[in-house]
A and B are shown apart, each in its own frame.
Chain A
Amino acid sequence: MKTKVVLTFSPEASNQPITHNLIAKHHLLVNILRAEIDEVGGKMVLELSGKADDIRGGIDYLKANGVGVRPIKEGVRRDDEACTHCGMCVSICPTKALTMDLKTGKVSFNEDKCVACGVCIDACPPRAMEILI
C-alpha cells in the first residue's frame, strides 16, 4: 500500500537519520516529494510504500521520535464556496492536482495528487486555497 504524509520536525528531530531508518528498519520505499528546513525546524512530504504493518510501524517510529505526522489530506484545503473556477491555479500546480474540466469549465482539486507545496496559495485570486501545515 501507499500513503502520503506530512512530517514536521523540531530542530532536535531534524538531526536524526529518520529517512534512513524508515528504509532500513521499517522496509519502506520512501519517495521524498518535498523537504525544507529552517531555524524553527523542518517539514517533509513523503510517499511511503510497503506493507500496511510496516507503514504503521514506520509512523509509530516517527511519532516516538518527536516527528509530527499528518496525512496529506490535512495539508491543503480548498474553500469550495470561495472558488470561482477561474483556473489561475491549473497552470502552476506542479503535480496537476488542480485541473480544469474543459467541458464544464469547473476546476477540481485532487487531494491525492497534492504534495502541499503551497504554490497555489498566493496565486488564487479569491483566496480559496489554504495551507494548513
Chain B
Amino acid sequence: MTASEFKEYVKTNGVKKAAREVDVVTTGTFGAMCSSGAYINFGHADPPIKMQKIWLDGVPAQAGLAAVDGYIGATALDETNNMMHGGAHVIEDLVRGKAVRLRATGYGTDCYPRKEIDTYVSLRTVNQAVLMNVRNAYQNYAVATNSSAKTLYTYMGKLLPEFGNATFSSAGELSPLMNDPYYRTIGIGTRIFLGGTQGYVMWEGTQFNPGAPRTPNGVPKRPAGTLAVIGDLKQMNPEFLKGLTFTRYGSSLGIGIGVPIPILDEDMARCCAVTNNDILAAVFDYSQPTRSRPVLREVSYAELRSGDIDIKGKQVPTSPLSSMYKARQVSEVLKSWILKGEFTIQEPVQSFPKDRPLKTLDVRTEREAT
C-alpha cells in the first residue's frame, strides 16, 4: 500500500488489523534537495590528462580525485553566477540524454602529459555516472515567512513582505522518515526509489540530528534525520529529477525519493499511520539573517496544507515547496514495482546512530578546534 492508502486503511480498520494485513507501505517525496550531486568518470583521453579543473557546460565540477573522476554539485554555478543553469540543470540535461561540453585543464605530468581538453560527453560516453547525495529527504523541516518590508528570495522560495506568505518544504505524512521516526527499518543499505530508478541509502545524511525535539508520538518537530543516498544516474528518469532555480539563491535539484517501510509489528503500523494533523513544524522569520532564528509558532501540516495559517493574527497563504502530486506518484510507482516483484525490500546492513549531536561552525583558534 502507499502511505496515503495505509493511513486511510488504519482509520477504518485500526492499527491491529493493518499490522496483520499489510506487509509494506511505500512513502514518497519530491522536492528541492540542494545537497545533491553526481560523480562521473569520463574515461581517459589520448594522450591522457590529469584533470585539475573541470567544467561541464561551463559549470565547475570538483576535481582532485585521481585523473578523470569529477563530482558536479547541484548548487554549483558558473563564473557569472547564472542561476538558470547550475549543476542541477547540467545533471538534468545528462539524464535527458543530452551531450554536455566538458572542458578540463591539468598541469601535465610524465604520466599525464596533456594539459587541456575540450570535448562533449553524455551518459552514453562516460564510464560511471552516479548520483550521490549527502543530505536528502529531511525528516521534517521548517516553515519560512518574512516580517520585513521587502521581498526575500531564499532557498525556501520567494517570501513576500509583511508576512505576505509562508512556505514549507516537507511532504509531511507521505515523507519517508516521518513514517519511520526512529529509523527502525531505514538504515545503511536500504533499497529505495531514487530519481525514477532503484538506489540505496548509503549512510546517515549530513546534519543528521536524531535528538531534535519530538511530539509524544515520536515525530520530530524540527529538522531531524536525513539520508545520504546513491543510485545510477544512467537509469534515472527526468520525470523525477529536475534542475530548479531559486531566484537570487541559486540552483537546486528536485528529486523524487521513495522508501518502502515494512510493517514489522503494530508499533511500525502505528508509526506509518501518522497523519498531517499529528506532524508539527516551526515557523521561522527568515528576515532575521542569523543561525538561530526565533520560532514564531508551531503549526501542523494539516493547517499548512489547508492553504493558509495564522501568524500573529494574520491569515497567511502557504505554499508547499515539495510537490504533493509527485510525492504520490513516487509512492505509487514504488508500490507497483514491489507488486510486480521488480523491487525487493532490503533490510539495512547497519542502523543509524541514535545519538549524534548537531555541531555548528564557529571561528576558533587551532587550540580550540583540537
Q: Which residues of A contact B (CB under 8 A)?
A: 84-92, 100, 102, 104-107, 122-123, 125-127
Contacts and interface: CB of A to CB of B under 8 A. Distances in A.
A91 B164 CA distance: 8
Nearest to B157: A88
Judged by DSSP, the binding face of B is strand
Nearest to B84: A127
A25 B158 CA distance: 43
B32 interface: yes
A91 B318 CA distance: 5
A107 B320 CA distance: 11
Given A86-B321, A91-B317, A126-B244, 9 more contacts: A86-B31, A86-B323, A92-B158, A102-B307, A105-B327, A105-B328, A125-B252, A126-B243, A126-B254
Contacts of B305: 102
Contacts, number: 81
Given A100-B307, A125-B254, A84 B317 contact: no
B165 interface: yes
Query: Which of A85, A86, A105, A107 has the largest count of B CB atoms less than 10 A from its CB?
Result: A86
5 contacts: A87-B319, A91-B317, A92-B158, A100-B320, A126-B243
Interface of B: 30-32, 84, 153, 157-158, 160, 164-167, 242-247, 252, 254, 305-307, 316-328
Contacts of A102: 305-307
B183 to A, nearest CB: 27
B242 A84 contact: yes
B307 A86 contact: no
B317 A122 contact: no
A87 B242 contact: no
A125 B320 contact: no
